[in-house]
């Protein structure tokens, strides 16, 4: 083979290799990172203020539950998948602690909780029942739900919840959503290991009726309960702090006394000027 012929063959082989590898390299370079934390957070936050509509799921007893059936009081929405062995159990443990503290402070019937399995193929009612049992979740008004893929996708978009398949199962945003009694998204709680107060505070605001219309007397009572119910980190529970209420009354009495004295002196000066 002559040198020129060899050069031609080499050029042909090089061209073939280049044509094979270049598209792969370009594809690898163009493939975006499917989970950008900043973009995911912005997407999640954009959901605040949306209203969660009708979404029908099945509970652990295979009974149908529409999320709109749970309106009338605040609702906590938590999305997990049952074959998750790292993040989801930690989220559920944090959620359990927060729900327990909130129920102790606000009442068991003051709000509801739903944990929804977003792996539609595997998160059956039986799997959700076993998952709840294995994690020791036995609190009242807490539903573990399964649903069809299209319903789960529609709900996740409304909530601003991001998840996608990965080699380990799913990658997803560690997000717990708090809804108002009318289904409007009020707050998101982020992270897998959050303190009870992070969940209980927005629930306290909603349960004590900051957002709802109520009688003047009830509004005053709830305002007092709102500001005087504080979280005790040592006891890991909420308690009613009477000192705040008593301090407010004392302050009001002092201001009233000062106002009375000032008003009386002004009245005396006015009468004296009139008499002169």
272 and 140 inside one domain: no
- Kindly state whether residue 2 falls inside one of the protein's structural domains: no
Task: Verify that 194 and 62 share a domain, yes or no.
Answer: yes
Measure the CA–CA gap between 145 and 115, rounded to whole angstroms: 6
162 and 67 within one domain = yes
pLDDT of residue 130: 96
175 and 253, same domain (yes or no): no
Residue 111 placed within a domain: yes
| Model pLDDT, residue 129 | 96
Of residues 48 and 217, more confidently modeled: 48
Of the three residues 157, 185, 208, the one that is the final residue of a domain is 208
Residue 209: the pLDDT is 75
Which is more confidently placed, 52 or 230?
Answer: 52
Number of domains in the chain: 2
C-alpha 65/C-alpha 67 separation (Å) is 6
- The answer as to whether 44 is a domain residue is yes
- The answer to whether residues 51 and 184 belong to one domain is yes
Structure tokens at 117: 């399995």
Residue whose tokens read 């560690």: 174
Domain membership of residue 222 (yes or no) is no
Judge if 187 and 271 occupy the same domain.
no
Res 210 pLDDT > 80: no
Q: What is the mean pLDDT of residues 12-30?
A: 37
State whether 263 and 200 are in the same domain.
Answer: no
For residue 77 the two structure tokens come to 């929405």
**1 domain residue, yes or no:** no
**Residue 236 lies inside a defined structural domain of this protein:** no
User: What CA–CA distance (Å, rounded) separates 147 from 57?
Assistant: 5
Q: pTM of the full predicted structure?
A: 0.68
Structure tokens given for 195? 């303190």
Q: Which of 162, 168, 172 is nearest to 83 (CA)?
A: 168
Q: Is 201 among the domain residues?
A: yes
List the single range of 30-39, 49-58, 200-209 with lowest mean pLDDT.
Answer: 30-39
pLDDT of residue 256: 76
**pLDDT score, position 224:** 46
Domain CATH for 196: 3.40.30.10
- Domain termination residue (choose one: 156, 185, 208): 208
Same domain? 138 vs 185? yes
The domain of 93 spans 38-208
Q: Is residue 59 part of a domain?
A: yes
Using the predicted structure, report yes or no on whether residue 226 has a pLDDT greater than 50: no
Q: Which residues contact 172 (CB under 8 A, 6 or more apart)?
A: 79, 81, 87, 118, 161, 162, 163, 164
Question: Are 197 and 270 found together in one domain?
Answer: no
Looking at the predicted structure, is the pLDDT value of residue 266 above 70? Answer: yes
77 and 183 share a domain? yes
pLDDT in tens, 195-209: 998 999 999 999 987
Q: What's the pLDDT tens digit per position in 95-118?
A: 999 999 999 999 999 999 999 999
pLDDT at 230: 47
Same domain for 194 and 272? no
Boundary-marking domain end, from 183, 208, 233: 208
> Which residue in the block uniquely carries the two structure tokens 């008004």?
141
| Domain match, 65 and 200 both | yes
């Amino acid at each position: 083979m002559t040198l020129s012929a060899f050069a031609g063959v080499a050029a042909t082989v090089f061209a073939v290799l280049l044509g094979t590898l270049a598209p792969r390299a370009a594809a690898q370079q163009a493939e975006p990172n499917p989970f950008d934390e900043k973009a995911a957070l912005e997407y999640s936050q954009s959901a605040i203020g949306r209203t969660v509509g009708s979404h029908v799921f099945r509970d652990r007893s295979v009974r149908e539950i529409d999320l709109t059936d749970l309106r009338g009081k605040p609702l906590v929405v938590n999305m997990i998948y049952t074959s998750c062995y790292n993040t989801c159990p930690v989220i559920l443990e944090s959620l359990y602690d927060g729900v327990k503290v909130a129920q102790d402070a606000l009442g068991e019937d003051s709000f509801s909780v739903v944990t929804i399995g977003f792996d539609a193929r595997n998160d059956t009612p039986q799997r959700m029942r076993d998952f709840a049992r294995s994690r020791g979740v036995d609190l009242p008004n807490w539903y573990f739900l399964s649903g069809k893929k299209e319903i789960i996708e529609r709900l996740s978009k409304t909530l601003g919840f991001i998840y996608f398949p990965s080699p380990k199962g799913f990658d997803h945003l560690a997000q717990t959503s708090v809804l108002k009694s009318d289904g409007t998204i009020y707050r998101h709680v982020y992270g897998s290991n959050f303190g009870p107060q992070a969940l209980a505070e927005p629930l306290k605001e909603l349960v004590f009726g900051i957002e709802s219309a109520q009688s003047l007397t009830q509004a005053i009572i709830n305002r007092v309960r709102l500001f005087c119910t504080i979280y005790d980190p040592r006891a890991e529970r909420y308690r009613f702090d009477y000192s705040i209420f008593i301090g407010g009354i004392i302050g009001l009495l002092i201001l009233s006394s000062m106002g009375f004295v000032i008003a009386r002196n002004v009245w005396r000066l006015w009468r004296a000027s009139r008499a002169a």
